[in-house]
Homo-oligomer: A and B are copies of this chain.
Amino acid sequence: MSAFLVTVARELRIAARNKASLLMPPLFFAIVVTLFALGGKPGDPQLAAVAPSVLWVGALLAALLTLDRLFRGDLDDGWLEQVFIAPASPVGMVLGKFAAHWLLTGLPLLLLAAPLALQLGFPSGAPLGWLLLGLLMGTPLLSIVGGFAAALTVSLPRAGLLLPVLVLPLLAPVVIFGSGAARAAQAGLDASGPIYFLAFLLVLSLTLLPWAATAALRSAFD
């Protein structure tokens, strides 16, 4: 079995240890949406307009809040070193981490996005399709770019806010294009432009960042 599959299986297993943790991403989104709604004027009818931003920012936050720990536990207990000396390629492990992170936070969000968007008054039909397509491209990007930043900061003592500060500028384009596509579709305009751009970013980061993250992790041993 390759390092990729091993890692995905391992992460899912750890998550499954605590069944309730699987419910946390949807719960988290529901709470974020509620908070947004509360932060705005009570009973604001214009929630539909902000629906794309709310969903995208929610996805970004869920990614951010879980990224900090992506590699830390493995570094602290020595597993990361075992992976790097094993015959299998460590890039597989890194990719597995990214995939598991997406499965555990990105995918639940994607499944929940449609009902939440409708709840907020976002139009169903084609606009919803574009919104979901954007999230389908964008949530893996959050995991990959965020995971790269997590690898960069893993050996830093007080990464705390450094990670988000690194990630946010990197991911700002993703959020802007993603919610831009949904807003364009909402307004009846063509939304394919931003989606192509997201797809391009996804391919680009999928080909480069796993290697960059692996290199970052390797230098974390010293």
Contacts and interface: CB of A to CB of B under 8 A. Distances in A.
Given A21-B158, A32-B168, 17 more contacts: A14-B157, A14-B158, A15-B158, A17-B158, A21-B162, A24-B160, A28-B161, A31-B165, A36-B57, A38-B176, A39-B53, A39-B179, A40-B50, A64-B65, A65-B68, A68-B68, A76-B76
Interface string A159-200: 011111100110010011001000100000000000000000
Contacts of A25: 161
A157 B175 CA distance: 30
Interface residues of A, number: 49
A32 B53 CA distance: 13
Nearest to A68: B68
Interface in A21-64: 21, 24-25, 27-28, 31-32, 34-36, 38-41, 50, 53, 56-57, 60-62, 64
B160 A66 contact: yes
A1 interface: no
B57 A39 contact: yes
Question: How many copies of this kind of chain does the complex include?
Answer: 2
7 contacts: A14-B157, A18-B157, A28-B161, A31-B165, A34-B172, A65-B163, A66-B160
Interface of A: 14-15, 17-18, 20-21, 24-25, 27-28, 31-32, 34-36, 38-41, 50, 53, 56-57, 60-62, 64-66, 68-69, 76, 105, 156-158, 160-165, 168-169, 172, 175-176, 179, 183
B17 A69 contact: no
Given A18-B157, A160-B69, A24 B165 contact: yes
Contact of A57 (B35, B60, B66, B156): B35
A38 B172 contact: yes
A18 B157 CA distance: 8
Given A18-B157, A40-B50, A68-B68, A165 B35 contact: no
B41 A160 contact: no
B183 A24 contact: no
Contact of A172 (B28, B35, B57, B172): B35
